[in-house]
Amino acid sequence: MAALDANSTASNLFSIGAERLALLGKHHKPLMQGYIDGFIDENAFTDVALKKLIASRILWRPDEQQPLALRPLVSELIASMVADENRRQINADVAEKLEQIRNRVQAYRDAQYKGDYSVAELQLQRLTEHVHDLSGQFEEAIDSLWHRLNSDFGFVSSLDDKIRENERAQKQLRRLLDGLDLLDFNELIELSEGNNHLRKLLVSQLQSQLSSHHSSLLEVQKRLVELLARFRQQQSRAMLIANMAAFLRQHPKYQPADYPNRSELPGLFNQAAAIQPQAAIALDKASDRQVLAELVRALPRHKAVVLTDTQSASFSALLVDDEIAARQQALKTDVENFYLRVIDQGSSLSALDYLAAQQLNWDSEIWLYQIIAEYQALPVDEKQMFAVVREEIKASAFNELLLIRDISIGLQVA
């Protein structure tokens, strides 16, 4: 039986691997172009091909705002085959990745200082790849943990092996957490030094990705603890059965006692709950009317509730909370009507113009913030339906901070 399972697993592995290698060969030209450009041109593939490449772990989207790219391991495979030393990774350790990021940041700043903007753009692209590779390294390791949870525990032969696999997974999770601890965002903020591109890449995006990795590792850890508790429970039951079987082999004539005929049962067997008989008043019996009247007379009477000052204040606070919730729902409804107007109109529509035309009693800043929040809450496929244009101005002549003055939303041209 074990040999059949092993052959079946090998057969499945062979078919999946052959299918994914065939995908690489079928789309070799656009994939190689994506390796050179640093991103994948989605127009070069059909929707079905893109879904297959993403499901086959060949392509991935590092961030919702980023284009599709090759998986880090696929990029490393191509780099090793073509001997591309600019992208070839000798050591995939987190500390080594961080050192590469520091070197790329320094090279990017040197190129900017010398005015060589083409080299600076190339260094920024390489730096972006290093950051995505670092995040992809953690994602691949987390996927490996999930694979171990969903496959390795099911193929080992005994509970002891399952517990050992759990301990190995716990150690791998500990190493991942130690690797995440190596990332010091204070250092990354210093490396950015006010550069908007570096700050967005090294701080905003990386922090969001690592927060997602922390959440995933927390779910993995919960699953590992749950599985370990289940394995321990199964192990204790298996030991009880094994010890009972060994006892019966040593005492083949053993007969369990007739516990139902005993006057006092052991606590282990006396688990039956007491029976609570149900009763009801017989209203058709005249002899019970007096007893019924006395029971009704003995019932506690309802007392009038008098609100104190503290209770009145709490009641007022509840009313205020309901009013705030109603205003929030009204704002959300007006924003949804704005998006419906954009869809019906088909052309770009200014948020502030719509606010003035509809004579809505909302603050302009709150109105714009809610429109952005509703857009960010949309699924990825629905976001691609809209084209968002932000009208931005500088905070002052000496401050590069950009303030959103208005937002225009329209439908994407197919």
Mean pLDDT of the chain: 77
H/E stretch holding 391 reads strand 386-396
34-69 pLDDT, tens per residue? 888 778 888 888 888 888 888 888 888 877 777 888
pLDDT score of 409 more than 80: yes
Give the DSSP letter of residue 298: T
Band of residue 301 on the pLDDT scale cut at 50, 70, 90: confident
Kindly state the average pLDDT of the residues 352-375: 85
Does the pLDDT value for residue 276 go beyond 70?
yes
Percent of the chain surpassing pLDDT 70: 84
110-148 tens-digit pLDDT = 887 888 888 888 888 888 888 887 777 777 778 777 777
pLDDT at 155: 61
What's the pLDDT at 115?
82
Q: Which residues contact 276 (CB under 8 A, 6 or more apart)?
A: none
pLDDT higher than threshold 80 for residue 407: yes
For every residue of 332-351, DSSP letters joined together read HHHHHHHHHHHHHH-S-EEH
CB 368 within 8 A of CB 351: yes
Buried-exposed string 232-255: b where 16+ CB fall within 10 A, e elsewhere? eeeeeeeeeeeeeeeeeeeeeeee
Does the pLDDT at position 252 exceed 80?
yes
pLDDT in tens, 207-249: 888 888 888 888 888 887 887 788 788 888 888 888 888 988 9
